[in-house]
Chain A
């Protein structure tokens, strides 16, 4: 399995565990337990939690396996430009971390804050990451020959 695939799949597994933990933390108030000033806002950020599951875990495992198993581009350069794969990894993961931190704090209804800027950066990073994967895998979606 190529290194970039291992990177995506292992990161996906880590984020799966993180998403499960966030889910657990978000349910603590139901048990009358305060998750605290740090985990509280993060655990309550529903969309951020959902995206850690769907983008952080599911999509990254898909990306890792696709980069490994899809038909080669050509014999000289089987997986095409690997820098696109690394750009995808950086964009997706940095974007998700920034989202987890910023989304609970940012609001469209208040003057711009550092959290709004972080959320904007998260949006750009996640977009660049996803589009880098599309660019990396597109030439490998082909029939034989």
Chain B
């Protein structure tokens, strides 16, 4: 798999593990173990799991698997992909503090949206038939 995919998938797995642990503490709180205030951190869990894990994993696999071009660069503009991954991970990190600092959370959402747009621009021409 290409290097960008390896980075994306490994980072997504780290977000997945962190998000699961976050979710477990919230479920513990729901069962009366730990601070009930943890239940207010749902957005942290959402940023970790939706963007940090799910979207990033999909980006990593899509960049690897989807049809390549017949001429170099075989996978198209990789700068867009790296920019997308930077935006996504910074966005997810900022998003994790949203319950405490909503403005940083808004910046996080913006970066996550930017990441999706950047990756979509990269990916669009690769969605083609084998004769393309």
Footprint of B on A, CB under 8 Å? Answer: 54, 58-59, 62, 66, 70-71, 99, 103, 106-110, 112, 115-117, 119-120, 122-124, 126-127, 130-131, 134, 137-138, 141-144
> Which of chain A's residues have a CB closer than 8 A to the CB of B3?
143
Would you call A130 and B20 a contact (CB within 8 A)? yes
Residue in B9, B31, B49 whose CB lies within 8 Å of A108: B31
Would you call A106 and B31 a contact (CB within 8 A)? yes
Residue in B2, B9, B33 whose CB lies within 8 Å of A120: B33
- Total B residues in contact with A, Cβ cutoff 8 Å: 26
CA–CA, A58 and B54, complex, Å: 9
Q: Which 5 A-B pairs have the closest CB atoms?
A: A123-B27, A116-B31, A119-B31, A130-B20, A123-B24
When C-beta atoms are compared, the residue in chain B nearest to A123 turns out to be B27
Q: Can you list 24 residue pairs at the A/B interface with Cβ under 8 Å? A: A58-B54, A59-B54, A99-B27, A108-B31, A108-B36, A108-B39, A117-B31, A120-B27, A120-B31, A123-B24, A126-B24, A126-B27, A127-B21, A127-B24, A130-B17, A134-B13, A134-B17, A138-B10, A141-B1, A141-B6, A141-B9, A143-B1, A143-B3, A143-B6
Would you call B16 and A134 a contact (CB within 8 A)? yes
Indicate whether B95 reaches chain A with its CB closer than 8 angstroms: no
Indicate whether B107 reaches chain A with its CB closer than 8 angstroms: no
CA–CA, A99 and B23, complex, Å: 12
CA–CA, A71 and B1, complex, Å: 8
Indicate whether B57 reaches chain A with its CB closer than 8 angstroms: yes
Indicate whether B129 reaches chain A with its CB closer than 8 angstroms: no
CA–CA, A120 and B32, complex, Å: 9
CA–CA, A71 and B9, complex, Å: 13
Indicate whether B30 reaches chain A with its CB closer than 8 angstroms: yes
When C-beta atoms are compared, the residue in chain B nearest to A122 turns out to be B27
- Nearest CB in chain A: distance from B68 CB, A: 15
Would you call A106 and B30 a contact (CB within 8 A)? yes
Would you call A116 and B32 a contact (CB within 8 A)? yes
Would you call A142 and B1 a contact (CB within 8 A)? yes
> Which of chain B's residues have a CB closer than 8 A to the CB of A117?
31
- Nearest CB in chain A: distance from B39 CB, A: 8
- Nearest CB in chain A: distance from B84 CB, A: 18
